């Protein structure tokens, strides 16, 4: 299990900024060290455990980039077109044993190895065939339409780096090297539960004053997209002793404990006291909207994160607290969120020294520019505001006012996972 010291998240000050929170997570969480081997078909989204040096050059041999005719650059026509006898043909996957002699051409196809003595290829649409000869135009540069061995990646190059979250294109590169398996960090084990007497699980009977629990399923889906192994612990009721026992029970078998709800300062918000009874909690009053009440602590060396109960606040704080924690536990390279510049089509006022996220949809304006349109209603409890929008506009701590026409930073929901 991942272990944290009791003081690793100690922080002085009444309010923690988003950047301070992410910085602490990135530098103080100790990654898990367990490694497993997976097939290429199961490698997408996993964290690579070891560097991969290219075992062969790509491409492994010099080949033609087009369908056409291979010749020696010494024979290239200089002033006018010239006819060359075609002495054979070479297809992709085959080779030619006879070398190309001066003044000769060979029919060649895309991906086929270059014949000995040839280093330039004419595209078939640029030539004229006359019987057993091909007429080649003047003016082609030596080496044209040829892919040299190692042009893409030379042998021995550090092609994939430990800590990468593998993408389909990374898996393709491993396959191009002839690899069939990759060593990856084992999946991060996360225990997830919701808190509150006001919740009922979908499929259960719901009392008149209860809501169906949606946050837990949202968080489990987000964790799955980060490649986690998730334990669904259901709903824990508002009982401090029961909460404390549940937290303590899962601490030794998981790398992270994640809860939603009960982290504010109300009389029935019991998570803070429960964590403090079995571990240590640093309550992060993060300077973020939505989502100020966020808790993080340590229970038996295992990190604990408590997210707000409102779904939008839970979503936003997951992105900025849980996501970097998962990456740090995995030993993954930091994945900085880079907002895309768009034009605001709304007015918005905010407080200085607090980062705020506004739910927006994108549209194309008459001049072709992308505009961000604010969701018409406020409220961190509106699931429709996450469903009927395309992403979040990020407003920095020093910004106080957004006006129509101003450039703002947009984060698509897809980029947050």
Over residues 228-232, the mean pLDDT reads: 97
User: Do 321 and 252 belong to one domain?
Assistant: yes
Is the pLDDT assigned to residue 9 strictly greater than 50? no
Q: Does residue 134 fall inside a structural domain?
A: yes
Say yes or no: 106 and 201 in one domain.
no
Cα separation, 90 vs 74, in Å, equals: 21
Does 300 share its domain with 357? no
239 and 349: one domain?
no
Residues 119 and 246 in one domain: no
Question: Are 228 and 352 in a shared domain?
Answer: no
Percent of the chain with pLDDT over 90: 77
Q: How many domains does the chain have?
A: 4
- CA of residue 166 relative to chain centroid, distance: 9
pLDDT confidence band for 263 (50 / 70 / 90): low
Verify that 286 and 380 share a domain, yes or no. no
- The 3 state secondary structure assigned to 152-218 is CECCCCEEECCCCECCHHHHHHHHHCCCCEEEEECCCEEEEEEECCCEECCCCCCCCCCEECCHHHH
Residue 6 in any domain: the answer is no
Do β-strands 229-236 and 189-195 pair in parallel, antiparallel, or remain unpaired?
Answer: parallel
* HEC string for the chain: CCCCCCCCCCCCCCCECHHHHHHHHHHHCCCCCCEEEEEHHHCCCCEECCCEECCCCECCCCEECCCEEEECHHHCCCCCCEEEEEEEEECCCCCCCCCCCCCCEEEECCCCECCCCCCEEEEHHHCEEECCEEEECCCCCCCCCEECCCCCECCCCEEECCCCECCHHHHHHHHHCCCCEEEEECCCEEEEEEECCCEECCCCCCCCCCEECCHHHHHHHHHHHCCCEEEEEEEECCCHHHHHHHHHHHHCCCCEEEEECCCCCCCCCCHHHHHHHHCEEEEEEECEECCCEEEEEEECCEEEEEECCCHHHHHHHHHHHHHHHHHHHCCCCCCCCCCEEEEECCCEECCCCCEEEEEEEEEECCCCCEEEEECCCCCCCCCHHHHCCCEEEEECCCCCEECCCCEEEEEECHHHC
pLDDT of residue 271: 78
Which CATH number do you get for residue 275? 3.40.980.10
The last residue of one of the domains, among 298, 329, 360, is 329
Which token pair is 131?
A: 């019987």
Q: Specify which residues 130 forms β-bridges with.
A: 133
pLDDT digits (tens, 9 = 90+) for 180-204: 999 999 999 999 999 888 999 999 9
Q: Which two tokens stand for residue 47?
A: 């964290």
- Pick the last residue of a domain from 310, 329, 348: 329
pLDDT digits (tens, 9 = 90+) for 310-367: 999 999 999 999 999 999 999 999 888 999 999 999 999 999 999 999 999 999 999 9
- Please compute the mean of the pLDDT values over residues 8-13 and round it to a whole number: 46
- What's the pLDDT at 1? 53
Of the ranges 84-98, 158-172, 263-277, 322-336, the best mean pLDDT one? 158-172
What is the domain-level CATH number for residue 381? 2.40.340.10
288-289 and 355-364 beta bridge pairing: parallel
Residue with tokens 């690579």: 48
- Read off the CATH number of the domain in which 123 is found: 2.170.190.11
The residue range of the domain holding 398 is 340-416
User: What are the pLDDT digits (tens) for 278-292?
Assistant: 888 776 678 899 987
Count of CB atoms within 10 A of residue 276's CB?
A: 15
The pLDDT of residue 26: 72
Tell me which of 277, 305, 329 is where a domain ends. 329
183: tokens are 């060593």
Residue 166 lies in a domain: yes
* CA–CA separation, 178 and 196 (whole Å): 52
Do the domain assignments include residue 25? yes
- Of the pLDDT bands very low, low, confident and very high (cuts 50, 70, 90), residue 206 is very high
């Amino acid at each position: 299990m991942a272990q944290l010291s009791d003081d690793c998240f100690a922080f002085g000050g009444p309010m923690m900024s988003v950047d301070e929170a992410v910085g602490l997570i990135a530098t103080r969480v100790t990654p898990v060290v367990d490694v497993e081997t997976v097939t290429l078909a199961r490698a997408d989204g996993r964290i690579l455990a070891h560097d991969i040096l290219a075992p062969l050059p790509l491409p492994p041999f010099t080949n033609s980039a087009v369908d056409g005719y291979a010749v020696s650059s010494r024979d290239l026509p200089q002033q006018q077109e010239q006819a060359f006898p075609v002495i054979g043909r070479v297809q992709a996957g085959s080779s030619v044993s006879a070398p190309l002699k001066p003044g000769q051409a060979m029919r060649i196809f895309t991906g086929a190895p270059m014949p000995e003595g040839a280093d330039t290829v004419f595209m078939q649409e640029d030539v004229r065939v006359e019987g057993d000869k091909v007429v080649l135009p003047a003016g082609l540069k030596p080496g044209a339409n040829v892919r040299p061995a190692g042009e893409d990646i030379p042998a021995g190059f550090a092609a994939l780096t430990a800590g990468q979250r593998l993408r389909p294109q990374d898996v393709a590169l491993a396959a191009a090297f002839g690899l069939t398996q990759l060593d990856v960090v084992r999946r991060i084990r996360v225990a997830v539960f919701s808190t509150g007497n006001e919740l009922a699980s979908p499929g259960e009977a719901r009392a008149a004053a209860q809501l169906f629990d949606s946050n837990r399923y949202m968080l489990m889906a987000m964790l799955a997209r980060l490649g986690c192994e998730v334990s669904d612990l259901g709903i824990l009721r508002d009982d401090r002793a029961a909460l404390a026992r549940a937290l303590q029970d899962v601490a030794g078998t998981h790398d992270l404990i994640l809860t939603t709800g009960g982290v504010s300062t109300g009389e029935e918000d019991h998570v803070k006291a429960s964590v403090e009874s079995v571990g240590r909690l640093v309550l992060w009053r993060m300077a973020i909207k939505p989502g100020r009440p966020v808790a993080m602590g340590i229970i038996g060396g295992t990190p604990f994160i408590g997210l707000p109960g409102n779904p939008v606040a839970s979503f936003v704080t997951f992105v900025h607290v849980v996501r970097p924690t998962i990456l740090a536990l995995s030993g993954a390279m930091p994945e900085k969120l880079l907002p895309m510049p768009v034009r605001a089509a709304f007015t918005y006022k905010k407080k200085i020294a607090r980062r705020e996220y506004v739910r927006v949809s994108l549209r194309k304006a008459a001049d072709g520019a992308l505009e961000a349109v604010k969701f018409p209603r406020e409220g961190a409890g509106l699931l429709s505001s996450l469903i009927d929008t395309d992403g979040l506009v990020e407003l920095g701590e020093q910004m106080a006012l957004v006006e129509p026409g101003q450039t703002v930073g947009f984060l698509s929901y897809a980029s947050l996972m």
